[in-house]
Structure formats: C-alpha cells, structure tokens
Amino acid sequence: MEPMIRVNNVSVRFRMANDRVTSIKEYMVQRLTGKLKYREFEALKQVSFSVEKGEVVGLIGHNGAGKSTLLKVISRILKPSEGNVQVFGNVAPLLELGSGFDFDMTGRENIFLNGAILGYSEEFLKSRYQDIIEFSEIGDFIDVPLRNYSSGMVARLAFSVATVIEPEILIVDEVLSVGDAAFQEKSRARMMELMGGGTTVLFVSHSMEQIRQMCTKVVWMDHGQVKMDGDVQTVCDAYEGICPKG
C-alpha cells in the first residue's frame, strides 16, 4: 500500500516563561530588563510512524500526551522543531472547528471561503453547496453573519464543509462530540461513509469504544512519544490494562 502520511522523527519544543506573569505590563518589564526566564517544554519527542492509503488511525493517550500537537503538525498549523512530515493528498483538518471562518461573513460566504482555504474551486463548491447546507441543518441562518451563530452551529457548518467535499485525508480532533445526539450520530455515519470510500483518516478520541469500532490501526502517545502502535485490539488492550476505566 502507498503511504499518505509519513511522520519522520518529529519533535516540537515550546519556550515557556518560568515565572508567573500576571499582566502584559509585567511581562514586558521583565523581558526588557532581562529578568524573564524560560524553560523548554518538549511536546513531541522523536515521533515517527506512517499512515497508509485508506487506513483509519486512532491516536490515544492521556491529556497532554501530544496528540493534538501532532495533528497540528501534520495539518501544517505548527512547524516541527526537528524532523518533518510528508503528506500525499489534500487534507481537511477538523481541529478547532470554525477557525478558518470569518465571523463577519454569512454562512453562505464562509462555505466558499473555507472551501477555498481547503483548496477547492468555486465551481466545485457550487456543485456541492446544497449538500453542505442540508447536512449542516443551518436552514435560514445560512444568510446570517456567523457572529449570530451558536458555537454548535459553527461546528456543524465546519464539519459539513470539510466532509461533504470528500477529502483524501481527514484529520479529526474529538469532532464527533459536535452538536446534539442526532447530529453526532449523523457525523459518525458520515465518517464511516468516508472511511468506506477510501478516505484516509487520522483522529483523536477519548472513547475507546469509538476507537475499537472505527479504526484499523492505533498509535498510543505518552508524554510526547509513541509508546506503542499497531493493530487495534493489541494496542487498546495494552492501553486499557494500564489506564483502566472508571
């Protein structure tokens, strides 16, 4: 099988201020006087793995294990401090839903804005426009500025744009908790449809049931490193043995 994603020895380091700084003024004073001290935090440490075409790969691990940071690196939102990521195909990242939207523009305008950011032509978006509106359940709000939307409506529209256009690679961070129970079920069904159609998926979920049901491979992150990767049952059983439910 051909690879769609190759993560090669990726490390990400952040500089964090050692002292508690409670205001911008205090930060600037300490910085200008040379009193501001930093410590280095390594969010990812020499992470390597590959994702083959059509695979559905689940990322698991405790909060702070580096899962979301890794998705941002693969989505080109964050640049790695070391190493590199190779991506072969167009990517639809569903990370911070609505982050590519302009809240002064209407839902209709944002469909074309967000679609263009994802690399799709105006003609293609016009051909899928009605499908996007129907899936999002936005209704008459489609011609209302996004600043008047609830956070759930924004998330539903973002999910609809990213998934109705059938990306080659879908990168998802806990997106199946979007909206009410009915929309969550519709989102799950849409994800399953994309997976069945050959879309390569990389996603984070804290639901082991979801991971076991939807994935073909699992990568277990722990303190910024890959602790284990491989088939779903083996990795999930090992993870749940160390991190039991309840």
Predicted pLDDT at 246 = 44
Provide Rg for the chain, Cα atoms. 20
Within 13 Å, how many C-alpha atoms sit on residue 104's CB side? 0
Q: How far apart are CA 71 and CA 78, in angstroms?
A: 9
pTM above 0.85, yes or no: no
Predicted pLDDT at 241 = 87
**Contact, 222 vs 238, CB < 8 A?**
no
Give the pLDDT means over successive 10-residue stretches in the chain (246 positions).
89 74 62 67 93 93 91 90 92 74 94 85 92 92 94 86 83 72 83 82 88 92 95 94 64
Predicted pLDDT at 191 = 78
Question: What are 95's two structure tokens?
Answer: 């990370």
Residue type, 232: V
Predicted pLDDT at 147 = 93
Among 215, 211, 218, 219, smallest CA distance to 47 is for 219
The DSSP call for residue 113 is H
